[in-house]
């Protein structure tokens, strides 16, 4: 939804500048001013997208609060949550999927097990890079 809103503004040469997050609290007033400059129907649809985005963000916040009450936030989860884009939900899922990270001899082994390392096939002088390996949960199915 954020990408759609940004694409719509860009299509009409409108940008929200000077903010690290154009959808953040400080940028919302500028975003509203730019949306107000759109043609009537486009503005209406874009405002609907913003309302949907706010609804989804509110649901995510509520689920994170519920999860905080259900899951004990461990130091491992806190460390995962320090990464950009990882909150309580994703941090908990990653920590529970990985388990004890010490069981992996290296970070590369963990990446391979998690399916985030691309496949490499080499034979002679040819090397082919394939898609990512299956993830832990995909192998369990």
C-alpha distances in Å from residue 132, one per residue of 23, 54, 111, 137, 138: 31, 33, 10, 14, 12
Number of domain units in the chain: 1
- Whole-number average pLDDT of the chain: 86
**What is this structure's pTM?**
0.60
Domain with 52, as residue range(s), is 2-99
Residue 30 in domain: yes
Residue 138 in domain: no
Residue 105 in domain: no
Residue 115 in domain: no
Is the model's pLDDT at 128 over the cut of 80? no
Residue 124 in domain: no
Q: How many CB atoms lie within 10 A of CB 114?
A: 18
Is the model's pLDDT at 116 over the cut of 80? no
For the chain, list the strands marked E by DSSP.
118-123, 126-132
Confidence tier at 141 by pLDDT (50, 70, 90): low
Residue 89 in domain: yes
Residue 71 in domain: yes
Residue 72 in domain: yes
Q: What is the pLDDT of residue 43?
A: 97
Is the model's pLDDT at 53 over the cut of 90? yes
């Amino acid at each position: 939804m954020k990408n759609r809103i940004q694409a719509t503004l860009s299509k009409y040469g409108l940008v929200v500048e000077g903010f690290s997050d154009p959808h953040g609290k400080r940028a919302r007033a500028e975003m509203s001013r730019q949306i107000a400059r759109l043609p009537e129907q486009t503005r209406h649809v874009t405002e609907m997208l913003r309302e949907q985005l706010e609804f989804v963000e509110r649901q995510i916040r509520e689920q994170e609060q519920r999860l905080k009450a259900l899951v004990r936030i461990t130091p491992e989860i806190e460390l995962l949550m320090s990464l950009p884009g990882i909150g309580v939900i994703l941090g908990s899922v990653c920590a529970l999927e990985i388990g004890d990270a010490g069981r992996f001899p290296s970070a590369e082994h963990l990446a391979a097990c998690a399916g985030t390392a691309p496949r490499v096939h080499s034979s002679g002088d040819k090397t082919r890079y394939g898609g990512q390996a299956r993830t832990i949960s995909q192998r369990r199915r």
